Amino acid sequence: MQLEIPLKTVYYAIDFARQHQITVILNPAPAVATLDIDYACKCDFFMPNETELEILTRVEMPLAVPTLMAGVRGATIAIVATATIAPLAGGLTLGGTDQTFNLMAGRGLQQNAGQEPQCVLTMPLMEGLDGSAKMSKSLGNAIGLTDEPHDMYGKTMRLRDELIVKYLRLATDVPPDEVDDIAAHMTDGSLNPRDAKRRLARELVTLYHSPAAARAARLRPPARR
């Protein structure tokens, strides 16, 4: 549940769930400073994000984490985006570099619960086609994994030149040493970025569709806009 419905409704739902032995997971979003902490304690999982955590505890990060743990007893606490919730002992959690703090906070929560802390592997964020904001469907700068081959190919060809190497490293199976060669040849001018971009587009369409789809997408004329 979230707090997008009236608090009275949330409290009723929590009580009803507890009476019927239904697991309760509460993400207190949007944060409400008047949330009754007793109801947070009745939840099986209490999962705020960093902003909500600071609002609820009135303490800035990172001190908000122990403050919340001292106040909410009985519920398993996980900071949203830590991906591995405390009962999932150990394991490997993947995330973007923007989630490093959250992932490390999850390790601390697991240790406090007497569990083996999760291993954390973070990956760099990918900027979208505009080269500024991170890739996001809502911003309209994304290449969708389910895009049709010609759309995927066409969007890739609109990518800013300075992102070609990063996309090759993070989004394709091209070996790292080969990507290094491509980067070096673009730098010394012996490889036109347009040709490197075609290679990138072909790799992406092949990966998510097929080699035949990549060849067809390359030959298909771009849509009129």
| Residue 25, beta-bridge partner list | 45
Q: Compute and round to an integer the Cα radius of gyration of the chain.
A: 23
pTM of the model: 0.59
pLDDT tens profile 37-70:
788 788 887 777 666 766 766 666 554 455 455 4
Backbone angles phi, psi at 45, to 5 degrees: -135, 125
Pick the CATH number of 149-219 from 3.40.50.1580, 3.30.1370.60, 3.40.640.10, 1.10.240.10: 1.10.240.10
Q: What is the dihedral of CA 49, 51, 55, 59, to 10 degrees?
A: 100
Domain boundaries, the chain: 1-80, 86-123, 149-219
Q: Is the pLDDT of residue 16 over 70?
A: yes
